[in-house]
Structure 1
Amino acid sequence: MVQSTLPWPPVQAAGNNPCCAAAMLDNAGGQISEMSAIGFYCFHSLAASAWQEVTDAFRQICRDEMRHLEIFSTLAMQLGAEPRLWSPCGSLSSRCRYWTPAYLTYHTGLDSILAAAMDEEERSRQKYLMQAAWIQDENVCDNLRRIAEDEILHLQILKGLYEKYVPPDETAGKPVSPVFPPGAS
């Protein structure tokens, strides 16, 4: 696993809380969500299949994201929401928007794949920590912070892969895009 070694807090919300439930639903099935991360890593593990180490890391990170999805869905249910892959459209709206693969970014160059993965992990980490700052349920906050720790580890792994496989372009100072699939021109 590529998870933090910190212990997992119990997944047990204090009680019914519609605002907190909406945040957990968004973490599970919103645009910046665990479902989006799973879709991203599934597609890009295929797009990066010429780099076995990258593919293996993506598959392992994807397993972590599935665990996070389960945690957020369980918390949403405990907080009083139906744990579908959807996100409320507004703060007090009864309408929800279902998760869609249109939320994903699709890349073919290894540099852009890894850069997008790092960006998504950082955006998720920031989102979870911002939620932990306003949510009052301590167990939910503990889970948000614990998942944010996994995202930090994922970022470190992705940065290491980027540094290993994406050499700097010496003329422009920008990364070189490997050709996808390898060998194609």
Structure 2
Amino acid sequence: MEQNKACLTNTCSFAGIKPIMMDLPYPPIQVRRENPAYANLLGMDYCGPVSELSAITQYINNENRISHERCPMAKTLLGIAVAEMMHLQKLGELICLLGGKVDFVARPYNGRPRMWTPEYLTIPEHAGKMLQADIEAEEDAIKQYHMHIKMIDDDCVNAVLRRIIQDEEYHVMLLQALVRAG
């Protein structure tokens, strides 16, 4: 028996979405020498509780849940997620150059290795709270990057981290504007 029910459709088009980031070049992806301890620090930025992988996943989840109601906001979140993917890729290259592993296991300097988990995410139900959680995650990432810059004595690595921070600060500004716009 055939049913004549209409399908629901999300009319928000994501064609042509580009990364939302500062219009500045990235420094070359290079390191002064292999250093597994530095690779482990960057592994926290790659896939730890405060990480690019967590940010990407949280932004995509939020974008999926609001796209049918708030298309412009969803497009902004997706553009930020694409920028975070670029950060993840750059960190992965640095980790490999430093002699580390890119396997979604964070190896903290004061704890046991732990594989990335969605438990790291904050997934509120309402758009305003989603944006606030995203702002907090960006601010935490900025703090963590600054801390890692102080711990890493490699100007090549730190130049990339400083450039990533510029994008994260830009994301905070955009997210705050979305909160103000309601």
Is TM more than 0.5 here? yes
Give 1:118's aligned residue.
135
2:27 pairs with 1:9:
yes
Superposition pairs of residues 162-181 of structure 1, within 5 angstroms: 162-165=179-182
For 2:94 and 2:170, how far apart are their aligned partners in 1?
Answer: 23
Structure 1 residue 163: Cα displacement: 0.3
Residues 99-149 of structure 1, C-alpha deviations (whole Å, 9 max, x = no match): 011111111111110100000011101111121122111011001000000
Give 2:86's aligned residue.
67
Q: Which stretches of structure 1, 4 residues or longer, exceed 6 Å deviation after superposition?
A: none
Superposition pairs of residues 99-118 of structure 1, within 5 angstroms: 99-118=116-135
* AA in 2 matched with 1:105: T
- The alignment yields a C-alpha RMSD, in angstroms, of 1.3
For 2:153 and 2:61, how far apart are their aligned partners in 1?
Answer: 36
Structure 1 residue 48: Cα displacement: 1.8
TM-score (normalised: structure 1): 0.84
Aligned partner of 1:79 among 90, 95, 98: 98
Give 1:176's aligned residue.
none
- Unmatched segments (≥5 aa) in structure 1: 166-185
Structure 1 residue 89: Cα displacement: 4.4
Aligned partner of 1:29 among 21, 38, 47: 47
Residues 34-81 of structure 1, C-alpha deviations (whole Å, 9 max, x = no match): 000011011000122211111000100000000000111111111111
For 1:120 and 1:143, how far apart are their aligned partners in 2?
Answer: 19
Structure 1 residue 6: Cα displacement: 2.1
Give 1:155's aligned residue.
172
For 1:90 and 1:159, how far apart are their aligned partners in 2?
Answer: 33
CA contact (8 A) 1:25 1:84 kept: no
2:151 pairs with 1:134:
yes
**Secondary structure, aligned partner of 2:106:** strand
**Secondary structure, aligned partner of 1:114:** helix
* AA in 2 matched with 1:31: P
TM-score (normalised: structure 2): 0.86
Q: Aligned pair count?
A: 163
* AA in 2 matched with 1:129: H
Segment drifting more, 1-10 vs 107-116: 1-10
* AA in 1 matched with 2:95: A
